[in-house]
Amino acid sequence: MILLKPTILILFLLSAPQLFAQSAATKKAVKRLDEILERNKPVAEVLLLGTFHFAGEKVDENTTPENLRINMLSDERQHEIQRLVTRVSAFRPTKIAIEVSPTREKYYDSLYSEYKLGHKLAGKGIDTADETFQLGFRLAKMLGHEKIYPIDAQPFRFKLSPQDSVLTFEKFSSQRDTSYAYWQKKYDSEKRFQDTLKFRLPLNEYLQYLNAPQKRASSIGMWLITTKKGDNPHPIGADGFITRYFNRNVRIYSNVQRITNGKHERILVIYGATHMYLLNQIFTASPEYKVVDVMKYLN
């Protein structure tokens, strides 16, 4: 048993009520903040479903080797997809948002119209194994939706002057950092481990892994290694993160804002899992949305 000196004990006892009073005052202040921002009132709900690219991950740089790709059109995988869609339908989304550019909205409207009529979409320049069709179209038709909503966005980085980008990066082309190579190997190992899970686990369990908080956070880890590139006057790594990865996700969020028409909305966002860490942070911070836990729909 630890005995306090009388002077220390007296000081502690005198300060304790004040400490507790401060704690109560803080709680009261936080409660008042919630009242000011009307956090007790209904807002639009959003369900963030992070996925992998069903069509063999051929659409972006995070590709899966051909010998490790799974066939999402097989009978077994189709059964798993239908089970997942049935589970997610319990969210009762009023809108379904997909990883497609809004510039292609009319084209996807026409595809979805044909899909609802039972027409085959093969040969129309799209891959029907893609999650857009296997999850988005299938669920929208099940729920009787008139359309689905493309919300993808390109980052601001692509609008910057190519000359400025080339000159700046050339200045630091010889810059070396051993930690980058070290962590690159670690993330390559993570990717190989992830591919084995994709084969071994049922779809819902693999999506549980992709949407776990630890996995969501690791998805931006490699970006945060590269932010040290450059120097103080030219923080090209940090600027690259802001103008490319962070900026793109804020733009995606803004596209969801534009399709939200009231507090009654329940919007399902089907998107690449690597985006979910920042999208979750952004939607959680927004006073306009409530983020619904996706895990209860992945059991």
> Across the chain, which distance is largest between two alpha carbons, in Å?
85
Of 100 and 178, the structure prediction assigns the larger pLDDT to 100
Confidence of residue 298 (pLDDT cuts 50, 70, 90): very high
158/164 Cα distance (integer angstroms): 12
pLDDT higher than threshold 80 for residue 187: yes
Q: How many CB atoms are located within 10 Å of the residue 157 CB?
A: 16
Confidence of residue 231 (pLDDT cuts 50, 70, 90): confident
User: Mean of the pLDDT values across residues 21-38?
Assistant: 84
Of 264 and 1, the structure prediction assigns the larger pLDDT to 264
Q: How many CB atoms are located within 10 Å of the residue 130 CB?
A: 22
The predicted pLDDT at position 165 comes to: 63
The predicted pLDDT at position 228 comes to: 86
88/129 Cα distance (integer angstroms): 19
pTM: 0.85
With contact defined as beta carbons under 8 Å apart, do 134 and 81 qualify? yes
User: Mean of the pLDDT values across residues 54-71?
Assistant: 68
Bridge partner residues of 51 (DSSP): 272
The dihedral over CA atoms of 20, 23, 24, 26, expressed in degrees to the nearest 10, equals 160
297/299 Cα distance (integer angstroms): 6
**Distance (Å) of CA 255 to CA 150, 155, 166:** 9, 13, 30
Confidence of residue 265 (pLDDT cuts 50, 70, 90): very high
213-229 pLDDT, tens digit each: 999 999 898 889 888 88
Mean pLDDT of the chain: 87
Confidence of residue 282 (pLDDT cuts 50, 70, 90): very high
User: Domain ranges in the chain?
Assistant: 44-297
Confidence of residue 166 (pLDDT cuts 50, 70, 90): low
Q: Say which range, 3-17, 102-116, 137-151, 217-231, has the weakest mean pLDDT.
A: 3-17
